[in-house]
Amino acid sequence: MPEYLELPLASIKAGTGRARDLDPAWVEGLAGSIREQGLMQPIVVRRLGDGYRLIAGHHRLEAVRLLGHDGILAMVSDAESDDAARLAEVMENLGRHELIALDRCHHLFELKQVWERMHPDFANGGGKTLPTGDGQGEIFGFATSVADEVGLSKRAINMAVKIWTNLAPQTRQRLVGCVLSPQ
Protein backbone atom coordinates (compact mmCIF):
# COMPACT_ATOMS: atom_id res chain seq x y z
CA MET A 1 0.00 0.00 0.00
CA PRO A 2 1.43 3.39 -0.96
CA GLU A 3 2.57 5.72 1.79
CA TYR A 4 1.29 9.31 1.75
CA LEU A 5 3.05 12.05 3.69
CA GLU A 6 2.76 15.80 4.06
CA LEU A 7 6.34 16.80 3.25
CA PRO A 8 8.12 20.10 3.80
CA LEU A 9 8.92 21.66 0.43
CA ALA A 10 12.52 22.16 1.54
CA SER A 11 12.98 18.38 1.81
CA ILE A 12 12.10 17.77 -1.86
CA LYS A 13 14.67 18.10 -4.65
CA ALA A 14 13.38 18.17 -8.23
CA GLY A 15 16.75 17.31 -9.77
CA THR A 16 17.92 18.12 -13.25
CA GLY A 17 17.23 16.40 -16.54
CA ARG A 18 13.49 16.16 -15.97
CA ALA A 19 11.45 14.42 -18.66
CA ARG A 20 9.46 17.64 -19.22
CA ASP A 21 10.57 21.25 -19.06
CA LEU A 22 8.90 23.43 -16.47
CA ASP A 23 6.35 25.79 -18.06
CA PRO A 24 6.04 28.92 -15.86
CA ALA A 25 2.65 29.84 -17.40
CA TRP A 26 1.31 26.37 -16.57
CA VAL A 27 2.66 26.71 -13.00
CA GLU A 28 0.79 30.01 -12.56
CA GLY A 29 -2.45 28.55 -13.90
CA LEU A 30 -2.10 25.48 -11.75
CA ALA A 31 -1.41 27.67 -8.69
CA GLY A 32 -4.75 29.41 -9.27
CA SER A 33 -6.52 26.07 -9.49
CA ILE A 34 -4.82 24.78 -6.33
CA ARG A 35 -5.68 28.02 -4.50
CA GLU A 36 -9.37 27.57 -5.38
CA GLN A 37 -9.78 23.79 -5.19
CA GLY A 38 -6.79 22.50 -3.28
CA LEU A 39 -4.27 19.94 -4.49
CA MET A 40 -6.26 17.25 -6.32
CA GLN A 41 -3.41 14.79 -6.87
CA PRO A 42 -0.33 14.31 -4.68
CA ILE A 43 3.15 14.51 -6.12
CA VAL A 44 5.27 11.36 -6.23
CA VAL A 45 8.66 11.24 -4.52
CA ARG A 46 11.37 8.75 -3.70
CA ARG A 47 13.32 8.61 -0.47
CA LEU A 48 16.89 9.64 -1.09
CA GLY A 49 19.27 10.06 1.83
CA ASP A 50 17.70 12.34 4.40
CA GLY A 51 15.31 13.94 1.90
CA TYR A 52 13.18 13.17 -1.10
CA ARG A 53 13.69 13.27 -4.88
CA LEU A 54 10.73 14.27 -7.02
CA ILE A 55 9.53 11.63 -9.47
CA ALA A 56 6.28 13.16 -10.75
CA GLY A 57 4.49 16.43 -10.16
CA HIS A 58 7.08 19.13 -10.89
CA HIS A 59 4.44 21.66 -11.98
CA ARG A 60 2.31 20.91 -8.89
CA LEU A 61 5.35 21.28 -6.63
CA GLU A 62 6.29 24.65 -8.13
CA ALA A 63 2.67 25.86 -8.04
CA VAL A 64 2.49 25.11 -4.32
CA ARG A 65 5.82 26.94 -3.81
CA LEU A 66 4.42 29.90 -5.75
CA LEU A 67 1.44 29.97 -3.39
CA GLY A 68 3.83 30.20 -0.44
CA HIS A 69 2.88 26.89 1.15
CA ASP A 70 5.37 25.14 3.43
CA GLY A 71 4.42 21.56 2.58
CA ILE A 72 2.73 19.32 0.03
CA LEU A 73 1.01 15.95 0.03
CA ALA A 74 3.25 13.32 -1.54
CA MET A 75 3.03 9.64 -2.31
CA VAL A 76 6.30 7.91 -1.47
CA SER A 77 7.31 5.58 -4.29
CA ASP A 78 8.98 2.23 -3.75
CA ALA A 79 11.26 2.82 -6.78
CA GLU A 80 14.56 1.22 -5.84
CA SER A 81 16.75 2.72 -8.57
CA ASP A 82 17.16 5.85 -10.65
CA ASP A 83 15.91 3.92 -13.68
CA ALA A 84 12.77 2.74 -11.85
CA ALA A 85 12.10 6.34 -10.77
CA ARG A 86 12.66 7.63 -14.33
CA LEU A 87 10.33 4.94 -15.65
CA ALA A 88 7.59 6.12 -13.26
CA GLU A 89 8.15 9.76 -14.27
CA VAL A 90 7.99 9.06 -18.00
CA MET A 91 4.96 6.76 -17.68
CA GLU A 92 3.02 9.43 -15.76
CA ASN A 93 3.81 12.03 -18.40
CA LEU A 94 2.84 9.67 -21.23
CA GLY A 95 -0.55 9.29 -19.60
CA ARG A 96 -1.25 13.01 -19.88
CA HIS A 97 -3.34 14.21 -22.80
CA GLU A 98 -1.67 17.62 -23.06
CA LEU A 99 1.57 16.23 -24.46
CA ILE A 100 2.22 17.45 -27.98
CA ALA A 101 3.49 14.99 -30.59
CA LEU A 102 7.12 16.07 -30.16
CA ASP A 103 6.94 15.56 -26.38
CA ARG A 104 5.34 12.14 -26.84
CA CYS A 105 8.19 11.13 -29.17
CA HIS A 106 10.73 12.34 -26.61
CA HIS A 107 9.03 10.51 -23.75
CA LEU A 108 8.82 7.26 -25.70
CA PHE A 109 12.51 7.60 -26.57
CA GLU A 110 13.29 8.16 -22.85
CA LEU A 111 11.12 5.19 -21.92
CA LYS A 112 13.02 3.00 -24.38
CA GLN A 113 16.37 4.08 -22.93
CA VAL A 114 15.27 3.21 -19.39
CA TRP A 115 13.59 -0.04 -20.45
CA GLU A 116 16.73 -1.21 -22.24
CA ARG A 117 18.91 -0.44 -19.20
CA MET A 118 16.49 -2.30 -16.96
CA HIS A 119 16.14 -5.27 -19.38
CA PRO A 120 19.51 -5.55 -21.17
CA ASP A 121 18.92 -9.17 -22.17
CA PHE A 122 15.76 -8.22 -24.05
CA ALA A 123 16.85 -4.97 -25.67
CA ASN A 124 16.09 -4.97 -29.40
CA GLY A 125 14.53 -8.42 -29.16
CA GLY A 126 17.81 -9.82 -27.88
CA GLY A 127 16.96 -13.37 -28.86
CA LYS A 128 15.80 -13.99 -25.29
CA THR A 129 12.42 -15.01 -24.04
CA LEU A 130 10.37 -13.62 -21.20
CA PRO A 131 8.21 -16.08 -19.28
CA THR A 132 4.53 -15.88 -20.21
CA GLY A 133 3.18 -18.03 -17.39
CA ASP A 134 2.36 -20.94 -19.68
CA GLY A 135 5.90 -22.28 -19.70
CA GLN A 136 6.43 -21.29 -23.34
CA GLY A 137 7.89 -17.81 -23.20
CA GLU A 138 7.86 -15.17 -25.91
CA ILE A 139 10.52 -13.00 -27.51
CA PHE A 140 9.94 -9.39 -26.54
CA GLY A 141 11.42 -6.08 -27.39
CA PHE A 142 10.70 -2.68 -25.98
CA ALA A 143 7.68 -1.73 -28.11
CA THR A 144 5.94 -5.07 -27.66
CA SER A 145 6.44 -4.96 -23.91
CA VAL A 146 5.08 -1.45 -23.31
CA ALA A 147 2.41 -1.07 -26.02
CA ASP A 148 -0.52 -1.97 -23.76
CA GLU A 149 0.82 0.09 -20.86
CA VAL A 150 1.01 3.30 -22.89
CA GLY A 151 -2.06 2.64 -25.03
CA LEU A 152 -0.25 2.79 -28.37
CA SER A 153 0.47 0.20 -31.02
CA LYS A 154 3.93 -1.30 -31.37
CA ARG A 155 4.23 0.46 -34.74
CA ALA A 156 3.28 3.88 -33.28
CA ILE A 157 5.85 3.47 -30.52
CA ASN A 158 8.62 2.49 -32.93
CA MET A 159 7.75 5.38 -35.26
CA ALA A 160 7.77 7.92 -32.41
CA VAL A 161 11.16 6.70 -31.16
CA LYS A 162 12.51 6.82 -34.72
CA ILE A 163 11.24 10.38 -35.21
CA TRP A 164 12.95 11.57 -32.02
CA THR A 165 16.16 9.68 -32.82
CA ASN A 166 16.35 11.08 -36.35
CA LEU A 167 15.72 14.71 -35.38
CA ALA A 168 18.93 16.71 -35.10
CA PRO A 169 19.36 18.39 -31.70
CA GLN A 170 19.12 21.82 -33.38
CA THR A 171 15.82 20.84 -34.98
CA ARG A 172 14.45 19.57 -31.68
CA GLN A 173 15.36 22.90 -30.09
CA ARG A 174 13.67 24.89 -32.87
CA LEU A 175 10.48 22.84 -32.50
CA VAL A 176 10.13 23.50 -28.76
CA GLY A 177 7.01 25.58 -28.20
CA CYS A 178 5.58 24.96 -31.67
CA VAL A 179 1.92 24.12 -31.77
CA LEU A 180 1.87 20.48 -32.80
CA SER A 181 -1.27 18.43 -32.42
CA PRO A 182 -1.25 15.64 -29.82
CA GLN A 183 -0.93 12.11 -31.13
- Strand, coil or helix: what is 12? strand
CA distance 53 to 57: 11
Residues 124, 127, 131, CA angle at the centre, nearest 5°?
Answer: 100
Q: Which residue, 65, 55, 56, 53, is CA-closest to 28?
A: 65
| CA dist., res. 63 & res. 45, Å (int) | 16
Q: How far is the C-alpha of 141 from the C-alpha of 26, rounded, in Å?
A: 36
Q: Do residues 156 and 182 touch, judged by C-beta distance below 8 A?
A: no
Cα 99 off chain centre by = 11
Number of Cα atoms under 13 Å in the Cβ half of residue 94: 23
Distance CA 120, CA 122 (A): 5
Q: Which residues of 135-151 are buried (b: 16+ CB within 10 A; e: fewer)?
A: eeeeebbbbbbbbeebe
Find out whether 101 and 180 touch, Cβ atoms under 8 Å.
yes
92-132: pLDDT as tens digits = 777 665 667 788 888 888 888 888 888 777 665 555 555 55
**Predicted local confidence at residue 178, as pLDDT:** 65
pLDDT cut 70: percent of the chain above it: 82
Domains of the chain as residue ranges with CATH: 3-78 (3.90.1530.10), 83-175 (no CATH)
pLDDT in tens, 34-75: 998 999 999 999 998 899 999 888 999 999 999 999 999 999
Neighbours of 87 (CB within 10 A): 20
Nearest Cα residue to 83 out of 47, 110, 45, 122:
110
Per-residue pLDDT for 158 more than 70?
Answer: yes
